[in-house]
Structure 1
């Protein structure tokens, strides 16, 4: 009886488990053939739940009347489709480039019609746009024109190459993508058009170029311009800015562009004046910095392969999603250009997997913020729908973007519960805490998120509140302390112990005097270094002590400087690595400087170079710790002061090194400059030689190991 009861209990438990599994949300077990990631403020890879799930592949079932027998239907697949557009009714339009036609599907992907403009046939169209009236604009690339069709597909107007004295003779009019604003103005991306988007009025008249990229100017280009003659420079290959690959427009009339073959500014969000709203002001200066877009999970095997963002779309929430035609990633950013997700997966060449796009050529979204990616190789449109996690992130981020920080707190908490490493959730909660006046919590969260400006703002408020609370006490301490010092000086001026201290004898311990000599060098550098050379004011022990203490102070500065001025402090810092780098640079300088001095009429001995180079580091000992402590009391509004003090410290050490060379080698000012220049060049050469030696050693080791494997196997 007991066995039968136990068996029934077991069956009941199994039944409950099966019922639970059957009613559990399908999305919890949904499998996607790609990984979704995020990169935090320090570039560290974070794995997240899937933001979008693949739903369907559309556009594969296209049948048209048989030309030989119109009563029959023949299969007519997409061939090298280049562009995709979804109108206000969520209807899907595809630029079927290989077939020189436009394919119109309904919201479910069912074929509605084929547009081929019989009165003026299309030729390899690569771009299209549908305005609010339903008029269809097609970038008819093969015919070098843009055509405007009414909603029935009838030709209304042609926009051929405009004539204008402002258009250069070298300009080629090959339209590939376009958008039309509410005024009817056209913004056309042309093949190789480095001047930017071609802006035409509704009548086709040229207005201007819009949203051009800047030419990248490297150090080598500056060097060439400095040393090349005009004839030599003219023979150089022209360095042109990147050409716009794609363009889209949002519901507010802002224009977005995607550019390939550039290192930064691959995505732009342009207002009517052509200003990039995704560029941001640097936190430490007034300069405008252009962001870099296009994410990479792991460095590709081919190091020459870099992200190439070829098309983009903007959803109703302002989120920007771009496709990478080279590495096959889908990258999604919010309206300010901050990364939300990126995803992608590999697929064997012989298989077709739902959700994996082999050759992405275009991307669009519908009114439900569903994504549609055009796969040129497979001739289909992959449809993606927001997952529960992705929808939650979008909701919370939209509230944050709208400034409703307190409302965003609960959604962000749920996101953080689902993924504790998703940094935007931490940042959203930090902004909510700041808005509610919880500045200490906000400071901690901004630090975790790696957001320097928010951390500084929160600390500013904490510091202000602390001063307001303790101002009276601080003033009393200052007044009482100042009065006490005045009275102490007044009543002890003629006492015996003050006179004895004033006329105290130098210490009889040589090491103490040698260490005190570092202070003398700060006031009289040339005489001080000369005294080390000719009067024995330094020793190996005192130099070693100063060097080690200086190295320790430098390590403390690098690791202890506050997060606001040293964002890497939020990560784990390897003090051994910092100390090793400091030692290598110092030894490289000592050896290089001594070698150059011996062949350049120098009088200093090797030990003089060692002693002097150690004493020249003394400002690190004197100011390193105070500067590190000061960084913890300042905010970004005082960044100019901190930067000046830090630069002054480095400059002080550098000047002491210069005076050391001049005094110990008995050089003139010109000879000192030449010696230092040659010493730096020697350091560079030594570094290259060491790098090459280690590289060859590793190669040689691998060679011998391969030979050993061959011998042992055979």
Structure 2
């Protein structure tokens, strides 16, 4: 009876694997991705769950005596790892039961490996010859089995002094490259992966992480003595927590707790070949790589499965944590992920003790086809598949990128320019713009030179005629009268501030500017800021103007400025400053004269530059900011009548006051929000009871 049920369930599983996309699962199952600007959005469904393998479906030719008695059970207990070999055989590290299970593609048990020999297997790998490598965390060794499941060797702690006498050898995950070298994740080994030769000799550590920049530690080094620093605990880099090997022989690692670049693709020198992505989870439980180089990662906290291409760009993610309804396609604690030769994705759930099976949808297969052609440099051939992807999902950024590069290779730079702009890919957009600009210059450079030369000659002739015969005197006189208008003169004082800032502030204190002119300039500052946000090329701004809030951008300008004005005036009262509030107000706004004058030209200049000339834009903007800072320093010194030492003291206290003001505002708004939530909950309860 028990065997009959097992066969029936196995048949059900097999039928599930051959089904197309099931309507109930797809109806409530979603996938998402991230756009180039970091915005999360839903996309076409990439994978759908088609079945599940658990302890009641994993039966096969085991002990004849057990089969006859019906006692054979392979229910999983806290399984930690999953691997699928070239024959599509499934291997499961059944950690709680101290064994490894080998299953066929349908989930039927082939054999139990290492039962009674392994203590706590947490990582497994099968090479091309069928040899099984097991990271036995409990026994602190690596066990090796042949294709028939017979133990042929075991490797314990390396005896090499380079390994470290005090370093424990507690292997958790393992992978083997084409040379037969072992790469082992060891608990607490911050140096990186343990690399062993096929005979178990220690070859060194590989692919270690770096501690990264620590602001607190940097400040401590500036002010602490050597004795105090020696008493502080060192910030150590996190140790890798997972490892995989690609078909190209490159080593992939994942590190829990690494906020940026938690997945790495390492060459023989240990250099990371993946570009840093903010869309990589810091809680990767397991990774695997398919023959195309796509990377699959299981998130142990959020529960989703993310798919990246071989460059590290996220294609899509799906799944999530089960909310308690035992829903197919969701997890409680994903601990392993693997892909078979047919493209089916298997996800191991540690707490449930089962394996869920996912099938790629036509959309995912189309993306993989286009991506494969694109990454192989066959941009033109990838054009039609990318177009089909866009028909299914018109907002898929990578499709716009692929089409843009296809047009670029065909020399259709104008079409490529539009597609790459939609893709928000700054690098390729810049390269395309370079070609468009080059074409335009080749056609029009002579005309541009002639026009500029003509304007210069015309200006020179007009100046000579004006000096010789008074040509245009009425116009010149009208301009002079216009500049002598008080308000106009006050507004044009910004140019005086740029040329002679010290004299400019002295004149400011004697009434050269008014509160009205400063207020008009403040409005002009807002206009310049908005123009800069909306018109700066996205190559340099990195923001999407369609997603920019005008109010938030104005607040970013006005809040710090008015906080500075208020704090500086209050500090000057305490420190015997001579400036009045209106003087600080006017002086602070006029200190932003470089931004007023250069903000718009820099935004316009950005539209004509590529990334290769980014140094021109970056240094120009840096110069503008530094100029503003210098004017603020001169403003404090001249308006308040301070010496240089008192000036910097005043500025330091002002900045401290601004920080305190920001902290108070944060606490106030936080408490206000909590009080409002409390009042609203009481009101809703009263309304409900009423």
* TM-score relative to the length of structure 1: 0.88
Please list, as runs of the form range in 1=range in 2, the aligned pairs for 1:604-683 lying within 5 A after superposition. Answer: 604-683=579-658
Q: Secondary structure at the match of 2:101?
A: strand
- Aligned partner of 2:542 among 562, 567, 570: 567
Given the alignment of the two structures, is residue 149 of structure 1 paired with residue 145 of structure 2, yes or no? yes
Q: 1:197 & 1:507 partners in 2: Cα distance?
A: 73
How many Å separate the matches in 2 of 1:645 and 1:463? 21
Determine if contact 2:25/2:328 at 8 Å carries over to the other structure.
no
Confirm whether residue 694 of structure 1 aligns to residue 669 of structure 2.
yes
- C-alpha distance in 2, partners of 1:26/1:112? 27
| 1:377 is aligned to 2:325 | no
Aligned to 1:18: none
Note the alpha carbon deviations across 1:581-628, whole angstroms, 9 max, x for none. Answer: 312222111111111111112111111111212222222222222111
The equivalent residue for 2:30 is: 35
Give yes or no for the alignment of 1:592 onto 2:567. yes
Are 2:125 and 1:129 aligned? yes
Q: 1:334 to 1:70 in 2, by over 3 A?
A: closer
Contact 1:447 1:570 in 2 (8 A): no
Match of 1:58 in 2: 53
Query: For 1:74, which of 71, 75, 98 is the aligned residue?
Result: 71
Aligned with 1:53: secondary structure? strand
What corresponds to 1:300 in structure 2?
none
Q: Secondary structure at the residue paired with 2:532?
A: helix
User: Is residue 2:232 matched to residue 1:236?
Assistant: yes
State the shift of 1:152 in Å: 1.9
Equivalence map 1:83-482=2 (5 Å): 83-116=81-114, 121-279=117-275, 290-294=276-280, 307-349=282-324, 351-482=325-456
Q: CA deviation at 1:472?
A: 2.0
- Residues in 1 aligned to 2:489 and 2:545: alpha-carbon distance in whole angstroms: 41
**CA distance 1:582–1:252, shift in 2 (3 Å):** same
Structure 1 residues not aligned, in runs of 5+: 1-24, 280-289, 296-306
Q: Distance in 1 between matches of 2:134 and 2:355?
A: 19
| CA contact 1:215–1:241 (8 Å) conserved in 2 | yes
Alpha-carbon distance change, 129 to 506 in structure 1, aligned in 2, over 3 angstroms: closer
- Displacement of 1:313: 0.6
> Higher mean Cα deviation, 50-59 or 172-181?
50-59
Distance 2:673 2:347 in 1: 45
1:702 to 1:177, Cα distance in 2 relative to 1, 3 A: closer
Contact 2:414 2:436 in 1 (8 A): yes
Distance 2:186 2:376 in 1: 35
CA distance in 1, matches of 2:248, 2:272: 15
Matches of 1:568 and 1:580, distance apart in 2: 17
C-alpha distance 367-578 of structure 1, shift in aligned 2 (>3 A)? same
Q: How far 1:175 moved relative to its partner?
A: 0.8
State the TM-score, normalized to the length of structure 2: 0.91
Q: Secondary structure at the match of 1:179?
A: strand
Whether contact under 8 Å (2:195, 2:205) holds in the other structure is: yes
Please give the secondary structure, in 2, of the residue aligned with 1:358: coil
- The CA deviation at 1:324 is 0.6
Query: Which digits, 9 at most, give the CA deviation of each residue in 1:229-264, with x for residues without a partner?
Result: 334334434322112111111111111111101111
**Residue 523 (str. 1) matches residue 499 (str. 2):** yes
1:511 is aligned, of 476, 479, 487, to 487
Structure 1 residues 482, 347: CA separation in 2 closer, same or farther (over 3 Å shift)?
closer
Give the drift of 1:492: 4.1
- Matched with 2:7 is none
- C-alpha displacement of 1:394: 0.7
SS of alignment partner, residue 240 of structure 1: coil
The offset of 1:113, in angstroms, is: 1.2
**C-alpha displacement of 1:706:** 4.1
Relative to 1, partners in 2 of residues 1:426 and 1:499: Cα closer, same or farther, differing over 3 Å?
closer
Query: How far did residue 348 of structure 1 move?
Result: 4.4
* Aligned-partner Cα distance in 2 for 1:229–1:422: 54
Question: Offset of 1:638 from its aligned partner?
Answer: 0.9
RMSD across aligned C-alpha pairs, in angstroms? 2.4
d(CA) in 2 for partners of 1:251, 1:581: 50
Contact 2:192–2:207 (8 Å) recurs in 1:
yes
Q: Is the 8 A contact 1:125 1:139 kept in 2?
A: yes
Provide the rounded CA distance (Å) in 1 between the counterparts of 2:573 and 2:54: 78
3-state SS of 2:492 partner: helix
Shift of 1:671: 1.2
Per the alignment, residue 15 of structure 2 pairs with none
Change (3 A) 1:101 1:516: closer
Change (3 A) 1:319 1:639: same
Moved more, 638-647 or 230-239: 230-239
**Is residue 550–residue 618 contact of structure 1 (8 Å, CA) maintained in 2?**
no
Aligned counterpart, 1:546:
521
**Any conservation in 2 of the 1:266–1:293 contact (CA below 8 Å)?**
no
Cα distance, 1:117 vs structure 2:
6.2
Tell me the secondary structure at the aligned position of residue 407 of structure 1: coil
Cα shift at 1:570: 4.5
Distance, in Å, in 1 between the alignment partners of 2:109 and 2:202 is 37
The number of residues matched between the two structures is: 665
Q: Deviations over 1:251-287 (max 9, x none)?
A: 11111111101111211111111111103xxxxxxxx
| Cα 1:675–1:139 shift into 2, 3 Å | same
The verdict on how the C-alpha distance between 1:67 and 1:31 changes in structure 2, with shifts beyond 3 A counting, is closer
| Matches of 1:499 and 1:51, distance apart in 2 | 74
Q: CA deviation at 1:134?
A: 1.5
How many angstroms does 1:420 deviate by? 1.4
